[in-house]
Structure 1
Amino acid sequence: MAGFKDRIKGFSSGLKKKEKKKAKSGEKGASGSSRSGSSRLPSFSKAKKERRVYDPAVDGELATFYLPDNCEKLDMYWTDEPYSFVCIVRDMVEHTVSYHVVEPKLTRFEKLLLEEIYMMLQDVLSIKGVSDIDNMTIQEKYRIIREQTVELLDYYSELDVKSIEKIFYYVKRDYVEYERISAIMRDPHIEDIFCNGAQIPVFVYHAGYGNVNTDVVFDDDDVLDSFVMRVSQQSSRSLSKSTPILDTTMRDGSRINITFGHDISPKGSSFTIRRQKKVPLTPLDLIAWDTFSAEVMAYFWLCMENGKNILMCGGTATGKTSALNAICMFIPSSTRIVTLEDTREVQLPHVNWIPTVTRESFNRDEVGSVELEDLLKAALRQRPDYLLVGEVRSREAQTLFQAMNAGHATCSTFHAGTANEVINRFTNPPIDVPSAMFSALDVICMLHNSYEVGVEKRKVIQVAEVAGLDGTGVILKDCFLWEPQTDELINHGSAILTDIRHRQGWSEEELQDELDRRRMVLETLIDMGVRDYYDIVEWINNYYKDPMKVMVALAMHKMAQNREGSTGDA
């Protein structure tokens, strides 16, 4: 601590001498007045000072934003109150949308103090026996970083609480979080983050505004290289000139792809982050957003309960994994599930669930690597009721179809533009799944990005069932098909539902009643405003236990809602 105080005093006295020298020489600022008065440095005190808590109403806001000329504000919201917020603006001349990260502005002296704290913090933590900060919870990290930052700054008696809060924000941002992209990583509306190189604006995919550029920039190659190296080290993965490409999972569960250096990318290092939602989307979310209709979701509810094999397919960023997460909420709670992924994306509420992930080799000889195919073979020995594969890409598809044919209920995602393209890609090199094995697959669900009034929306455009084989290959029959003119999913009948009806011993009327009940449950829960993930899980589980009890509870709610409506009209 003595070393820190001595260095701080040195900074303070040195800066004061410089400021006095500038004042004597008559150096002026942009406004024409001397800058020495406005840059007066706080004095150093040997004794700590009791400070009050920061109050925005008294001390002023930490961050402020001034709308650029010829721009209109579209949206503004906090990402880390009271430290940082986001403002989304439209340029009325260029007709472009941009994303602005607003953070506290530091004075020259605050910047120097911040740099000194960066230099001293690790030593201080080590002296105090805090050696395993990386394995602490985020709340514990914030608490320790705040305590030590405030303790170091307490020796400045004239440093106000606003300055302390500003400095603390940058310490936690750079030491605990994700440096200059921290505010973006906190934004729940951001799905993807793209950095194409140093001195190029970072781009984001915003749920409400699509692809937009930000005002966040990595200053030079060294800064960007340092950032991607830090991310790779935090995930315990190797990144170097000999291994310049990395796919890994960040600490918050987000997926990141990194290219390192100029050897494979002329613009230098780059990264793409696919954000991981803390709480996955639910069936109700997808219905409310018009990605699925309630009728189609009721269809998948029956399919998942009855162990049907399903592929969620579509192009890049069409919501395949989100849809898979949502329909897997319909798997009965007692079911044993094993998930297999390259990076963790599948999130389930089930207790009897084993999540597994692949592992890269420890050296260039690929010794110690664990491929998706290895996980799949191991999973078949764990007696799963359901196998969920995050994404099928290559030869593991053959093992996946073998699992289907062996009677294991299986779900996965796959990149393809149409249902016929799914069949073509699977049955041709390099995947080469024999057509005969496709009789085990039940449903292919196609998702697509469409545009409505300039806004991108994800939609189910086709639900196709595998109807068998003929001399030309696999036969597909459309169960639901999207009609663009009416924006509806048209029901063309289902052989899968007929199979479920036979297995359950239902009549056609009983099958339709069951579909109608489940559709009504979903629609009523949306009307009730039920959105909490675990509340929805509870409703689904209660339906499995006692469907009639759930129907009565929902009917009573609708009656109460109707009475309130009629009273309001009167």
Structure 2
Amino acid sequence: MPNDSVAEFDNAMKSPAKWAFNLEKPAQGQHLKKEHSKPAFDYAPIKTGIEELMTIVVQKKKASVKEIASSLGWSQKQVEEVAKVLEKQGVVDVVYPASVISSPSVVLLKELQIEPQEKVDGLVLQQYDFFADFIPVHATLFKSRKENSTIYEIKTPFVGPYTHAFLEQLREEIAEKIPVELAEITDEKKSIQLKEKFFNVSKQELQAHIPGIDEKNLNLLAGRLLHSMYGLGRIELLMADNSLEEIAINSSKTPVTVYHRVFGWASSNIYLESEEKIANFASQIGRKVGREITTLNPILDAHLITGDRVNATLFPVSSSGNTITIRRFSRRPWTIVDFIGEKHTMSIEMAALLWMAMHYEMSVLIAGGTASGKTSTLNSLCAFIPAYHRIISIEDVREIMLPSYMRWNWVPLTTRNPNPEGLGEVGMLDLLHSSLRMRPDRIILGEMRRQREAEVLFEAMHTGHSVYSTIHADSGQQVLRRLIEPPINVPPLEVEALDLILVQFRDRRTNLRRTYEIAELESGVSAEQLAVNTIYRWRPREDDWDKVNEPSKLIQNLNLHTGLTQKEIGEDVFSRAKILEWMLDNRISEMDQVGAIMRLFYSEPDSIMAAAEKGVSPKRFLGLEQ
């Protein structure tokens, strides 16, 4: 590959608005304008000359290559090359005369029409723009007047029907030129290199076939070819939107459905043309993880190297048609600053208390219902762990992301499903036992589900490890019941090792997520009985939090392990709240920015506290000041 191409691709990979496969610097889908904005880009039709060429052919039904070349300002060879590509799509026929000195003719075989786009009748809720591999995308969310539902519409620069047919044929020819080995799609680094190869070859072929195409349109068309060859077609546009959590293909008869972070479920303006197309996408996903989905094995659960989780089913297991459900791995995880600020998930005082608990190695269990934000909360709290601690995380699907400064001593472990013969399974219990032999300071378990896993986890707490996990429950009292009653059934004396319970809640009416309560477990009237002491609780009508009780067990444990008095603990929480407020005021909300402040706090607490009190810009500490 030429050096210029290498440099260009390297720059594109570093750009925060173009590429998405770099998990260190997630790029795709960076929103450029929000909240009822006009499109930030020009979404006019892309000019390639192919539509103009075909306009001449459609008008005359038969036109000589010489005549077309003269009209377009192209060479006869360039016109002939484009016509040959369209000929393979059955659009035209290139007729060569008997005389070698005469010009070939292009004969129209099939006239292509522009498919009309149905206009959405509804109230605009939000608009924003983002990039998907050099393709600018304008997203609009509507409240449909007709169906009283949310509609998610995306627009990209328009490609004419003949240009589309040309790209379809070119895609097949490029795909034949690039052999793909299994290792190239299952290894993260090789996968990025393969994507680079597809993109550069696409650009070369487009430049060879379309005279005078400018760089912007060249990159845009190469991005389209990349999506159709290497990715999932127009689904890749959805994958680039960081506001989407889920993408669901329910059948070819219904639109692709998305779950938006703010507006919940919405139907999109994207359809897949056939059940076969959905099955092909499912097979493609399976190949990327070394598995296959067939009529004999019609269910696929896959964890992609990008972190996304995929479930696919084939007809007749899914009676309405083939399905694919993609849980997008968050390219930009929420942080504690998001939670106390824009998201209003918890109060600053609550966040400061949790920070103190995480700092001093208290074990925390995060509960809540489905989609209540359990894992997001767990992930945000992990940024409070000091960098000098060894962290082992265990998950079914990789969702935990830590700030970069903590990754040097972090071992992320993920479970593995058995192969079609039922061999090779690695479960959470296997990984839990293994993690205890890695000398961890902190153990993060994605979700506590089974009795034996819970028993090992509480044994780890009793042996001096700090443990963090999630569980499905709607209150502190329910967490206690789930832990001490079947099927988990952990003895109360073991459960007592848990320091804090944090309960997340999703309002089903407004789709807002809130921390419902923070509680601790205390000994009851006997050693076998435990009681829940609620420290903070959310008030739905006021959308605020009350401090219900003072933490009792937490203060005792902090006094035991740190020597801090109750007064000093209160002062410490107040100081941390000031720092969080300072970070919020200065919009320090990116994961690595939050991590950098935490790293400095643990090495120079007095200087960070002084900066927060004096209102010094955090950019000075982050190296961002000019």
- Per the alignment, residue 394 of structure 2 pairs with 340
- Per the alignment, residue 370 of structure 1 pairs with 426
Deviation digits for residues 466-509 of structure 1 (CA, Å, limit 9, x no counterpart): 11255674321111112223322222110212320343222322
- Name the CA distance, whole Å, in 2 between partners of 1:333 and 1:18: 67
- Name the CA distance, whole Å, in 1 between partners of 2:533 and 2:249: 42
- Name the CA distance, whole Å, in 2 between partners of 1:464 and 1:157: 66
Q: Secondary structure at the match of 1:262?
A: coil
TM-score by length of 1: 0.82
1:327 pairs with 2:381: yes
- Name the CA distance, whole Å, in 1 between partners of 2:442 and 2:293: 35
Indicate conservation of the 8 Å contact 1:314/1:446, yes or no: yes
Structure 1 residues 421, 215: closer, same or farther in 2, change over 3 A? same
1:100 pairs with 2:153: yes
- Per the alignment, residue 28 of structure 1 pairs with none
Structure 1 residues 69, 342: closer, same or farther in 2, change over 3 A? closer
Offset at 1:354?
A: 0.7
Match of 1:480 among 513, 517, 536: 536
What amino acid is the match of 1:391?
Answer: E
Q: Percent identity?
A: 26
Indicate conservation of the 8 Å contact 1:295/1:519, yes or no: yes
Structure 1 residues 429, 40: closer, same or farther in 2, change over 3 A? farther
1:432 pairs with 2:489: yes
- Per the alignment, residue 75 of structure 1 pairs with 126
- Per the alignment, residue 286 of structure 1 pairs with 339
- Per the alignment, residue 443 of structure 1 pairs with 500
Alignment of 1:286-435 (within 5 A): 286-288=339-341, 289-349=343-403, 350=406, 351-364=408-421, 366-395=422-451, 396-435=453-492
What amino acid is the match of 1:519?
Answer: A
Offset at 1:464?
A: 1.5
Match of 1:465 among 520, 539, 542: 520
Match of 1:552 among 610, 619, 623: 610
Offset at 1:206?
A: 1.2
Moved more, 91-100 or 178-187: 91-100
**Backbone CA RMSD of aligned residues:** 3.5
Alignment of 1:4-19 (within 5 A): none
Offset at 1:282?
A: 1.3
Indicate conservation of the 8 Å contact 1:74/1:90, yes or no: yes
- Name the CA distance, whole Å, in 2 between partners of 1:555 and 1:460: 27
Moved more, 249-258 or 235-244: 235-244
Offset at 1:397?
A: 1.8
- Per the alignment, residue 535 of structure 1 pairs with 593
Structure 1 residues 533, 147: closer, same or farther in 2, change over 3 A? same
Deviation digits for residues 233-287 of structure 1 (CA, Å, limit 9, x no counterpart): 11223433333333322232122222x2123221122232222112322111111
Q: Secondary structure at the match of 2:389?
A: coil
Indicate conservation of the 8 Å contact 1:294/1:523, yes or no: yes
TM-score by length of 2: 0.75
What amino acid is the match of 1:273?
Answer: I
1:189 pairs with 2:253: no
- Name the CA distance, whole Å, in 1 between partners of 2:321 and 2:209: 42
- Name the CA distance, whole Å, in 2 between partners of 1:235 and 1:130: 9
- Name the CA distance, whole Å, in 1 between partners of 2:541 and 2:137: 43
Indicate conservation of the 8 Å contact 2:278/2:324, yes or no: no
- Name the CA distance, whole Å, in 2 between partners of 1:443 and 1:130: 46
Structure 1 residues 194, 461: closer, same or farther in 2, change over 3 A? same
- Per the alignment, residue 252 of structure 1 pairs with 306
Offset at 1:534?
A: 1.9
- Name the CA distance, whole Å, in 2 between partners of 1:130 and 1:512: 57
Indicate conservation of the 8 Å contact 1:45/1:156, yes or no: no
Offset at 1:203?
A: 1.5
- Per the alignment, residue 77 of structure 2 pairs with 45
- Per the alignment, residue 37 of structure 2 pairs with none
Indicate conservation of the 8 Å contact 2:184/2:194, yes or no: no
Offset at 1:48?
A: 12
What amino acid is the match of 1:526?
Answer: L
Offset at 1:426?
A: 2.7
- Name the CA distance, whole Å, in 1 between partners of 2:414 and 2:182: 31
- Per the alignment, residue 167 of structure 2 pairs with 114
Deviation digits for residues 333-389 of structure 1 (CA, Å, limit 9, x no counterpart): 10011111111011113121111111122243x322111000000111111111100
1:218 pairs with 2:272: yes
Offset at 1:159?
A: 7.2
- Name the CA distance, whole Å, in 1 between partners of 2:292 and 2:617: 60
Offset at 1:44?
A: 5.9
- Name the CA distance, whole Å, in 1 between partners of 2:413 and 2:363: 20
Deviation digits for residues 207-258 of structure 1 (CA, Å, limit 9, x no counterpart): 2222211111222211111111111211223433333333322232122222
Q: Secondary structure at the match of 1:120?
A: helix
